[in-house]
Each structure stands twice: as structure tokens, then as C-alpha cells.
């Protein structure tokens, strides 16, 4: 089967996507992209590439310490929210590898995890070195590390978007390059095993990142949020697998592969900017509704009236 690839069309699409993203985003890149004032410490942590999942966890722990010390205040940097989520998911994958009873091909799953992490660490280092080759989708999150107007929940989801909608397909290519392209049904169930880990871990992590009014809404809608996020994980990771297969067909042409990667990056970054716009609108409306509710509650249920009502009971 011959794969056709229209390089110029893909390049044009990538430029259009970038223009649309910049129309949505008015936030400039901070002077000096690096993780100041922790630039040197971040460089030291990222100086070597992880060889196994234990190395990945060790680096994620070290990165977490750095991010938690960055401005605007301890544990408030928005990139730290994603790193915390990613660390938790990675530890669950490690648990699955150690137990062995759920994994068909442990070599595949661990190598995929390592390849996946390398792309996140590479993005951190590119940003740290003020390198314009930092993927756009990671730039969207990184430049908002000190943005307290953006909720931690949205920040974590921006990281998931970058990692799944950009990095995962590339990690699959790197894994297949070492182990061979998928030719049976053994490795795909291992890939889907991570979906189950997401299903179990995302709800408590999401609630941990939520504001008070977000928790009230979460309680109101019951399991709807959990179901919708399961569907989102299922769809996006299935898309990443299919995207990996399409990119695999381009592996022998570096220029075509890079053009496809760039278009994928620009599409994911536009999704991220839409998410930020939505976050702004929802947060503003949410706080307004919450404040209005509390005002009305004080008006119609003053303390004296409450005491009287309680006395009658």
C-alpha cells in the first residue's frame, strides 16, 4: 500500500493552525523561557535520558521539587499540576509492570513509557534553554506557569493534551523503531491498559485540582464528569494510536515526518487555547454564580431566621 503525503498542503495547514492559535492567545512568551530561578537545577536533572521506568519516576520527582519552588508561590506553579498528575499515572504503570499479571508484553509497555517521558523532558529542556523549537502545544502551558487566573485543573488538562495529542504518537514510533511495528494483538491491550489507569486516577486527581465551586458542580452532576472524561481518554488515546500508524508510514522521510509532526503540534496547541478560553469563561461564570448564591442565601436565610427555624424543630 502506497502512502501519499501532500507536503505543501500539510505545511499550509500547520501555518493556518498557528495563525488561528495566535489570534486566540494574547499572552506573550515571558522574557527568557527558562525555568528561572531554577534553570541550572532543571538542566542538571534533565542532563541524562531515562533508560527505564524507575529513571522516569526519579526524574519526575526531581522536576516536581523544582516546579513546586518556582514562582508565583510554593506549589502554585501551574506546570507543577500536570507533573504531579503525570507522576501518579506513571507510578501506576510501574505497579502494573511489577505485578505482571495484567501485561502481555512488559518490554513494550516500559519502553513506550520511557519514550513518552523523554518527549516531556525534552520539551522541558527546550524551554529551559530558550529554544524556539519548543513544541507549540507545550509552550501554551509553559508560558502560563505563573498564571493564577488559570485553574490547576485546566493546567493539568493542558499537559495531558500536549502529552497525548502530540507526544504519544511520536513515542509509539520510537518504541516500534526499537521493537518492530505492531504485527499482533498482544501489545495493543497493553496500550489500552493505560486507559484503565486513567479511568481510575483522573477522578480523584481532578477533584484535588478543583476549586470550591468546581467541586460543587462536580457533586451536582454526579458521575457525568467521570463518564465524559473516560470517553475523552478513550477517544484521544485511540486517535494517538492511529496517528502513530500514519506517522510510522513516513518514518523513512524525515522532512515529511517533521511536517506531519508540526501540523499535529499546531492542531493540539489550538485545542489548548480553546480550553483556556473556556476555562476563563467557566471560572468567571462559576464564581459569579457562587457569590450570587451565597448572597441570596444570606438574604433569605439570615442567622436569626435559621435559629428560629431550628428552634421549631
Burial 109-119 (b: 16+ CB within 10 A, else e): bbbbbbbbbbb
Q: How far apart are CA 213 and CA 218, in angstroms?
A: 9
What percent of the chain has pLDDT above 90? 50
In a domain, 59, yes or no: yes
Q: In this predicted model, what pLDDT tens digit does every residue of 4-22 receive, in sequence order? A: 666 667 776 777 777 677 7
Into how many domains does the chain fold?
Answer: 1
Which tens digits make up the pLDDT trace of 190-213?
999 998 888 787 776 665 655 555
* 305, 297 Cβ separation under 8 angstroms: no
Residue 259 is assigned to a structural domain of this protein = yes
Q: Whole-model pTM? A: 0.81
What pLDDT shows up at residue 3?
Answer: 55
The answer to the question of residue 100 being in a domain is yes
The whole-number pLDDT of residue 211 equals: 55
Q: Dihedral sign for Cα 270, 275, 281, 283, please.
A: negative
Residue 67 exposure: Cα atoms within 13 Å on the Cβ side:
21
Residue 18 resides in a domain: no
Q: How many Cα atoms sit within 13 Å of 272 on the Cβ side?
A: 34
Q: Terminus-to-terminus CA distance in the chain, angstroms?
A: 78
C-alpha cell at 173: 514510533
Of the listed ranges 97-111, 121-135, 150-164, 193-207, the least confidently predicted one is: 193-207
In a domain, 263, yes or no: yes
Instruction: Classify residue 147: in a domain, yes or no.
Output: yes
Q: Which of 34-38, 110-114, 225-229, 308-312 has the highest mean pLDDT?
A: 110-114
138's grid cell: 507545550
Question: Is the distance from CB of 124 to CB of 42 less than 8 angstroms?
Answer: yes
Q: Which one has a higher pLDDT value, 201 or 71?
A: 71
Residue 278 in domain: yes
57 near 43, Cβ under 8 Å?
no
Within-domain flag for 160? yes
- Is 25 strand, coil or helix? coil
> What is the residue range of 32's domain?
24-312
Amino acid at each position: 500500500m502506497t502512502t501519499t503525503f501532500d507536503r505543501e498542503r500539510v505545511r499550509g495547514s500547520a501555518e493556518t493552525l498557528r495563525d488561528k492559535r495566535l489570534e486566540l492567545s494574547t499572552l506573550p512568551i515571558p522574557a527568557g523561557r527558562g525555568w528561572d530561578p531554577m534553570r541550572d537545577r532543571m538542566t542538571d536533572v534533565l542532563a541524562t535520558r531515562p533508560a527505564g521506568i524507575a529513571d522516569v519516576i526519579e526524574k519526575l520527582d526531581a522536576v516536581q521539587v523544582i516546579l513546586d519552588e518556582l514562582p508565583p508561590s510554593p506549589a502554585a506553579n501551574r506546570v507543577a499540576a500536570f507533573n504531579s498528575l503525570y507522576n501518579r499515572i506513571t507510578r501506576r504503570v510501574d505497579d502494573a509492570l511489577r505485578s505482571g499479571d495484567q501485561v502481555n508484553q512488559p518490554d513494550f509497555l516500559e519502553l513506550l513509557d520511557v519514550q513518552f517521558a523523554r518527549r516531556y523532558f525534552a520539551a522541558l529542556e527546550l524551554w529551559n534553554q530558550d529554544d524556539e523549537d519548543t513544541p507549540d502545544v507545550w509552550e501554551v502551558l509553559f508560558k502560563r506557569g505563573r498564571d493564577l487566573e488559570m485553574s490547576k485543573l485546566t493546567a493539568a488538562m493542558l499537559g495531558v493534551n500536549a502529552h497525548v495529542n502530540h507526544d504519544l504518537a511520536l513515542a509509539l514510533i520510537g518504541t516500534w523503531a526499537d521493537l518492530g511495528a505492531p504485527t499482533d494483538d498482544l501489545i495493543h491491550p497493553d496500550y489500552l491498559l493505560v486507559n484503565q489507569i486513567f479511568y481510575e486516577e483522573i477522578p480523584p486527581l481532578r477533584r484535588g485540582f478543583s476549586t470550591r465551586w468546581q467541586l460543587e458542580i462536580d457533586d451536582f452532576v454526579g458521575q457525568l464528569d467521570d463518564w465524559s472524561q473516560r470517553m475523552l481518554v478513550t477517544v484521544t488515546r485511540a486517535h494517538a494510536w492511529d496517528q502513530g500508524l500514519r506517522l510510522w508510514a513516513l518514518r523513512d522521510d524525515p522532512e515529511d515526518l517533521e511536517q506531519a509532526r508540526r501540523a499535529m503540534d499546531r492542531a493540539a496547541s489550538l485545542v489548548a487555547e480553546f480550553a483556556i478560553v473556556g476555562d476563563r469563561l467557566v471560572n468567571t461564570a462559576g464564581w459569579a454564580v457562587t457569590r450570587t448564591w451565597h448572597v441570596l442565601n444570606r438574604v433569605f436565610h439570615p442567622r436569626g431566621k435559621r435559629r428560629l427555624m431550628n428552634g421549631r424543630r
